[in-house]
Amino acid sequence: MRVLITNDDGIGSPGLAALVHAFDAASEVYVVAPEHERSATGHAITLHKPLRAHPSGIAGSAAQAWATNGTPADCVALGMLDLLGSRPDIVVSGINVGPNMGRDLTYSGTVSGAMEGAIFGVPSIAVSIGSFRNPVFTTAAQFAVDLAQAIIRYGLPEDTLLNVNVPNLPGPQIAGVAITRQGTKRYISRLEKRTDPRGRTYYWLTGEPAPQMDDEGTDSWALARGQISVTPIGLDLTSERLREVIARWPLAVPFETPHQ
Amino acid sequence: MRVLITNDDGIGSPGLAALVHAFDAASEVYVVAPEHERSATGHAITLHKPLRAHPSGIAGSAAQAWATNGTPADCVALGMLDLLGSRPDIVVSGINVGPNMGRDLTYSGTVSGAMEGAIFGVPSIAVSIGSFRNPVFTTAAQFAVDLAQAIIRYGLPEDTLLNVNVPNLPGPQIAGVAITRQGTKRYISRLEKRTDPRGRTYYWLTGEPAPQMDDEGTDSWALARGQISVTPIGLDLTSERLREVIARWPLAVPFETPHQ
């Protein structure tokens, strides 16, 4: 199995090292990851400045590794189009410190790395650990290997990926694996308004988890029950239900265009 | 109607000015937009550096405007949480120069501005013009006003937005309005590998439209027929079909974790 590993916490992140070590035993591992943290970067790609990739390494592993000045999606593109020489069998993005679930998914650099893999037509998974504090990666890393092997065996349909969130618990305390749907849980955005030493206003954008609990069967529901959550994600964002509604609206090409 | 307008081409973009002028007649218009171009920025938000918003203006309009050092999503958050004082009735992102369709949607800064509006619970639309060359914005801008008025009248369900692509044609040559689904058309990523004056490798990431044509009923199909494409987008990315498939895989919590 040829594996391309990326992340958004940066190439020095212990979550990435844990993935590399878990895959090392049975795979040919390549790492292309941002040289520094690129969290909340969304599915950004870099078109307006040159990209660089520096040979790097992961302690305790012989995996070929590169650190780049790009986003997770850039890293996958650089790996696919040049660094790896040929396509990998799977792309694994993570392990992110902190969950990637619910409405926050579209902000996630970790998920965007897997999205880019899927757009390249390679089966891809994103892996996150459900806590920002004292993360223990071993169970999540081994689950990623098991899941990758299942994907190699059974295949993933085109234009899909799997988003995995693992509770931050020792393996024996994890209450099984749930195949979930994306919940609606989100961070409530807050803005801290401050004044700099020169008297000018600046802002810090922060967030806190919304208090509402998600429904049964969602990603955050499974995680709260101590289960590993696996959410199948599609790249088609069309809302078919809304499509039927809008089709009944009286929309037409404007006849008058006031600012010719 | 209180309208918050943003974009990813930057506050100086003529596409944004066209929107502001079209909405000016019947609305209270606020502009919060990036101070420079933020294309292909995905749904990125800025958590790791301070955000700034400078009072600005749009020529020929009395709209209140701010230029920020953030992404389109940051602009919407800054507008909602501080600058506007209270929530707008609608968020309009655009008019982007060049289409935002098919698999490229997740990269789009224009769409991410509307996504952020939807996450804040405000009806939101993204508007793009189907050509990178000699864009004429008047029809697209007036259609955005008409669509916003329809949304105010009929409402949009929670966690949805509308993605609009308008052919770059004079109004009378446009062949109607199509309610579409997101196609699979994408840019094929290419990497130009170069050597800098110091002998080191660098890359430019570029793309060219894939040759394949999209199916009937998709965004790019409608645009190719000279129609305005309106695609209803949902924030739930779950692939229900794949969920049933994965549920049959023999996945379990790993018992052995090799790297304690």
- Quick one: pLDDT band at residue A95, thresholds 50, 70, 90? very high
Query: How many domains are contained in chain B?
Result: 1
The first and second tokens of residue B52, run together, are 């700034």
Are B142 and A232 a contacting pair at CB < 8 A? no
Out of A103, A240, A252, the one facing B119 most closely (by C-beta) is: A103
Residue B80: inside a domain: yes
Pick A18 or B186 by higher pLDDT: A18
Q: Is A177 on the interface with B (CB under 8 A)?
A: yes
Instruction: Find all residues with CB under 8 Å of B182, minimum gap 6, and list them.
Output: A236, A237, A238, B101, B102, B105, B163, B218, B219, B231, B233
Containing domain of residue B155, as a range?
Answer: 2-183+214-246
Residue A121: inside a domain: yes
Cα distances from B85 to residues B2, B4, B78, B79, B81, in angstroms, run 12, 12, 10, 8, 7
At residue B207, φ and ψ (nearest 5 deg) are: -155, 155
How many whole angstroms separate alpha carbon A221 and alpha carbon B143?
A: 41
> What is the CATH number for B36?
3.40.1210.10
Mean pLDDT of chain A: 92
Q: What is residue A93's predicted lDDT score, i.e. its pLDDT?
A: 98
Residue A199: inside a domain: no
Mean pLDDT calculated for residue range B52-75: 96
Looking at chain B, the whole-number percentage of residues with pLDDT higher than 90 is 80
Instruction: Give the gap in angstroms from C-alpha B217 to the nearest C-alpha of chain A.
Output: 11
Residue B208: inside a domain: no
Least confident among A186-195, B88-97, B158-167: A186-195
Instruction: Give the gap in angstroms from C-alpha B5 to the nearest C-alpha of chain A.
Output: 18
Contacts of B42 in chain A (CB under 8 A): 41-45, 71, 73, 112
Residue of A29, A90, A81 whose CA lies nearest to A58: A29
Least confident among A35-49, A242-256, B99-113: A35-49
Residue B175: inside a domain: yes
Instruction: Find all residues with CB under 8 Å of B100, minimum gap 6, and list them.
Output: B108, B110, B111, B126, B128, B163, B165
- Quick one: pLDDT band at residue B194, thresholds 50, 70, 90? very high
Q: What is residue B167's predicted lDDT score, i.e. its pLDDT?
A: 97
Q: What is residue A39's predicted lDDT score, i.e. its pLDDT?
A: 78
Cβ A44 vs Cβ A35: under 8 Å: no
Task: Go through B155-184 and write b for each residue having 16 or more CB atoms within 10 A of its CB, e for each that does not.
Answer: ebeebbbbbbbbbbbebeebeebbbbbbbb
Are A251 and B150 a contacting pair at CB < 8 A? yes
Contacts of B54 in chain A (CB under 8 A): none
Q: Is B210 on the interface with A (CB under 8 A)?
A: no
Statement: residue B29 has pLDDT above 90: yes
Residue B62: inside a domain: yes
Out of A39, A48, A139, the one facing B253 most closely (by C-beta) is: A139
Question: Which chain B residue shows the shortest CA-CA distance from A75?
Answer: B205
Out of A42, A179, A232, the one facing B112 most closely (by C-beta) is: A42
SS3 B22: helix
Question: What's the ipTM?
Answer: 0.90
pLDDT in tens, B133-191: 999 999 999 999 999 999 999 999 999 999 999 999 999 999 999 999 999 877 788 89
Q: Which amino acid is at A115?
A: M
SS3 B178: strand
pLDDT in tens, A134-177: 999 999 999 999 999 999 999 999 999 999 999 999 999 999 99
Question: Which chain B residue shows the shortest CA-CA distance from A201?
Answer: B52
Q: What is residue A149's predicted lDDT score, i.e. its pLDDT?
A: 96
- Quick one: pLDDT band at residue A260, thresholds 50, 70, 90? very low
Instruction: Give the gap in angstroms from C-alpha B157 to the nearest C-alpha of chain A.
Output: 8
- Quick one: pLDDT band at residue A2, thresholds 50, 70, 90? very high
Q: Is B147 on the interface with A (CB under 8 A)?
A: yes
Residue B193: inside a domain: no
Q: What radius of gyration do chain B's Cα atoms show?
A: 20
Are B236 and A181 a contacting pair at CB < 8 A? yes
Cβ A227 vs Cβ B253: under 8 Å: no
Statement: residue B43 has pLDDT above 90: no
Mean pLDDT calculated for residue range B100-129: 94
Statement: residue B256 has pLDDT above 70: no
Q: What radius of gyration do chain A's Cα atoms show?
A: 20
Give which of A83, A253, A256, A259 to mutate to test B binding, by max B Cβ within 10 Å. Answer: A253
Statement: residue A259 has pLDDT above 50: no
Mean pLDDT calculated for residue range B209-235: 91
Cβ B110 vs Cβ B71: under 8 Å: no
Q: What is residue B259's predicted lDDT score, i.e. its pLDDT?
A: 46
Task: Go through B87-120 and write b for each residue having 16 or more CB atoms within 10 A of its CB, e for each that does not.
Answer: ebebbbbbbbbbbbbbbbbbbbbbbbbbbbbbbb
* Angle in degrees, CA B124, B130, B135, rounded to 5: 100
Residue A190: inside a domain: no
